[in-house]
A = this chain, B = another copy of it.
Amino acid sequence: MNKIAILTSGGDAPGMNAAIRAAVRKGIHEGLEVFGIYNGFQGLIEGKIEQLDAGSVGDIIQRGGTMLHSSRCPEFKTAEGQAEGLRQLRERGIEGLVVIGGDGSFRGAQALSELGFACVGVPGTIDNDIRGTDYTLGFDTALNTVIDAIDKIRDTATSHERTFIVEVMGRDAGDLALWAGVAGGAESILIPERPHDIKEIISRLRQGTGRGKKHSILIVAEGVMTGHALAGQLKEAADIETRVSVLGHIQRGGSPTGRDRVLASKFGARAVEVLIEGKTGVAVGMRNHAVIDYPLTEVFSRREGMEDGLYELSKELSI
């Protein structure tokens, strides 16, 4: 292997730049030429490809977003799109590709891999919802962004003795809502992986008021329902007034935390090693505190449930 390329795809996540930097420098350290593909698979098809040197990834480890930009690319789901992408890579003598993104992006990597091109995926999404790895880049930064918002909202909640609903990202995965809810001392946390009972939520709110709590904060993952929908249910079922805060896009941005920068560095470097070792159709990830690689096919099955007891603990601690 002499030449490899890197792209970022799907929703951006803090730590993507750190992973790009690590892949570029690790590649150069191993004697490879490294290319950056701009705008994800769309840019691959369009040939937006440039060589990167060690200096071109300087001063980016601390930046949110992705310097290679990203996009969603329906065209790459077609055989024609994939063939054109392959042509662009082979034309330049590129022999391996690092794809940083979520599971949608991994499908593109898998497609190329099945066409005989060496591909490795790096999990980058704030949702922490990729099967096979304990961690996806961006989760830790998003977690701290959400907590910072909850801490601010608590000031007002306490001062006005009000109940707030905070809607956080997470269509299929409740990790962000659950961790943020535990860390923010939320009264109730609604996540897609667990059924919720509006009566129990109401009873917990009343219990809190009963023991003199000055405020209550409910966290709801967008995959369960919107914050406004929950507010409506509480109003209708028990005449409880709430305020709603929809955190939205601020959850994707910001300078990555130390953990995201370090794990991104490990993941990006490991991805290059994996290509050099001749593997393809694999993802890097973390399992049991160690960086590992495993077949991409493992990603495309239903997600495991949450088994670590944190949801149950959250109820015991928010009395």
Contacts and interface: CB of A to CB of B under 8 A. Distances in A.
Interface size bracket, A side: 35 or more
Given A253-B151, A308-B290, A317-B22, A182 B262 contact: yes
Interface of A: 8, 11-12, 14, 16, 18, 21-22, 25-26, 28-29, 39, 54-55, 58-59, 61-66, 69-71, 134, 140, 143-147, 149, 151-156, 158-161, 164, 179-180, 182-185, 211-214, 243-250, 252-255, 257-259, 261-262, 265-266, 269, 287-290, 308, 310, 313, 316-319
Contact of A153 (B149, B250, B258, B316): B250
A266 B183 contact: no
Contacts of A61: 183-185
Contacts of A289: 134, 287-289
Contacts of A158: 59, 65, 69
Contacts of A16: 159
A246 B59 CA distance: 23
Given A65-B154, A69-B158, A247-B250, 12 more contacts: A8-B159, A22-B317, A58-B185, A61-B185, A64-B152, A140-B257, A140-B258, A152-B252, A152-B253, A152-B254, A246-B248, A257-B257
B151 A62 contact: yes
Contacts of A65: 154-156, 158-159
Contacts of A318: 25
Contacts of A59: 154, 158, 185
